[in-house]
Structure 1
Amino acid sequence: MTAIENDASGETDPEAFAVRSRRRGILFWIVRYLPAEIVGTAAMIVAGLAVTIWTDNPAVVAIAGLLGEIVGFYAVLAVTIYAEQAQVSPTRRSAIGRSGMLLVAEFGAAELLDTLLIRPAAMMLGVWLLPDPVWGLLAGKIVADIVFYAIAAGAFTLTDKAGLRDGRKSEERAT
């Protein structure tokens, strides 16, 4: 899925992106976040189970799972956002910079709250309450994801409405 639609001449059209952005439905959010969720979840389970070789401490299992999920999730999203920004940025360096800025803008607040409070507590509680660490990690993840996505989707919408995703703001500053 491309971030900008091409007009008849092959040029990118920021207005088409803006119109399409306002019509986002559940399918958009699934396409945007599902690949990152799949990789993040797999990394969470691998990391969480890997530490059970050394300990069955719920806090340690939850922290390992959390770190694995963060690495897997953001690796996919960094590539996704870079692919979007490469289409609207004049240079590769600009696309990398814009991608970093958008990652922070979209996920910064959600990630701080999620990483420092909600996800560790939810995952540790899941591992503590359920006898199988995999099911405990997954249960905690689902609870934490609900809060995380409520914040992240709101931040995405704000960056989109502000024109930060389609290059409009960078073009306005350049002129």
Structure 2
Amino acid sequence: MSFIKVVHTIMLSKTQFKEWFDRYKYAEVAATTAALLGSQFSRIFSGLTTAYLITFIEYFAFYSVIIGMAYWQCDKKNKAIQKKTSFSDVLMIIKNLLLEFGYPAVLDILFIRPFCMYWLPILTGNSLTGIMAGKICADVVFYFLTIVNYEWMKRKNHF
């Protein structure tokens, strides 16, 4: 299936929203909590430093949950068939996560999220409101790209 068809499917499919929500909800709760806690750095550091600190803290929380959940699901599946989780299973998890999150994460962590976390507090005049608005703006771009990858991988039977 072409990239355009995957994007079209995503834009039209409201029934898949629950699947996406269930896949990312716990990681997003952890990331949002981390971003809010990280916003306290704005009292100590400059805007750009705080923007990158929040981005890295948020990423650590998000991917800790994503990796933990992926491993737990793999382990659960293996236990059901009475198999131990092997090193090749872990490599498969890493490969799938890189395919799903790879370029969206690179764009997000280096450009989109720091840009939003820096400018929106300035534009709103309030660091907490601006950080939440920046997070939402960055999340829209990140999740759009990530879901395109996720749907493409499902169609290619990577999961």
Q: Percent identity of the aligned residues?
A: 26
CA distance in 1, matches of 2:114, 2:144: 18
Matched, 1:152 2:146: yes
From 105, 128, 138, the counterpart of 2:99: 105
Which structure has more RCO (C-alpha within 8 Å, separation ≥ 6)? 2
Q: Deviations over 1:76-132 (max 9, x none)?
A: 100121223332686332221111111111000101111111111111111211232
Please give the alpha-carbon distance, in whole angstroms, between the structure 2 residues aligned to 1:70 and 1:30.
18
Q: Distance in 1 between matches of 2:54 and 2:152?
A: 30
Aligned to 2:69: 80
Alignment of 1:121-136 (within 5 A): 121-136=115-130
TM-score (structure 2 length as normaliser):
0.81
Distance 2:60 2:115 in 1: 19
Q: Distance in 2 between matches of 1:47 and 1:148?
A: 19
- Distance, in Å, in 2 between the alignment partners of 1:84 and 1:122 is 33
The Cα shift of 1:74 comes to 0.3
1:43 correspondence with 2:37: no
Alignment of structure 1 residues 155-166 onto 2, 5 Å: 155-165=149-159
- Look at both structures and tell me which one has the larger radius of gyration over its CA atoms: 1
Whether the 8 Å CA contact 2:56–2:109 is kept in 1: the answer is: no
**Corresponding residue for residue 32 of structure 1:** 23
Letter in 1 for 2:154: D
Q: Which has the higher helix share?
A: 2
> Which segments of 5 or more consecutive residues in structure 2 lack a partner in the other structure?
1-12
TM-score by length of 1: 0.74
In the alignment, which of 44, 62, 68 is matched to residue 54 of structure 1?
Answer: 44
Q: Provide the aligned C-alpha RMSD in A.
A: 2.1
Residue 92 in structure 1 maps to residue 96 in structure 2: no
